Amino acid sequence: NAGVTQTPKFQVLKTGQSMTLQCAQDMNHNSMYWYRQDPGMGLRLIYYSASEGTTDKGEVPNGYNVSRLNKREFSLRLESAAPSQTSVYFCASRDRNTGELFFGEGSRLTVL
């Protein structure tokens, strides 16, 4: 059981570079989410996708774009990375019956 898979697990970028974080789930969930977590803090919602073909802004969407490629995949793109985007990024999908969020292992991004 793979669950939620995120790639890459680690990435170092220079200011101004772009990159895409990939996320895929194999649980046939409709809803998917991207969060960021800074040291000692909670998870802040960046974007979410209630279902295939829809995306909505969360609490901290500025500087990010998302694509819900299909039901399985939900990617997060940083067009021009800034040091303030140094964080751990978590992708999650939600079981509509239980409300439970299943998280990937996280992607640790450092922007120099």
Q: Which of 62, 68, 29 is nearest to 48 (CA)?
A: 68
Cα Rg of the chain (Å, integer): 13
Contact 38, 24 (CB under 8 A): no
Site size toward another protein (CB under 8 A) is 24
Lookup result for tokens 């969060």: 35
Site for another protein in 45-84 (CB under 8 A): 45, 48, 50, 56, 58-59
- Taking contact as CB under 8 A, which single stretch among the options 19-27, 43-51, 61-69, 76-84 is the one that binds another protein? 43-51
- Cβ neighbourhood burial of 50 (10 Å; 0-12, 13-18, 19+): middle
Residue 2, interface with another protein (CB under 8 A)?
Answer: no
Binding range to another protein, per CB under 8 A, among 17-25, 31-39, 64-72, 75-83? 31-39
Note the residues at the interface with another protein (CB under 8 A). Answer: 31, 33, 35, 41-45, 48, 50, 56, 58-59, 90, 94, 98-106
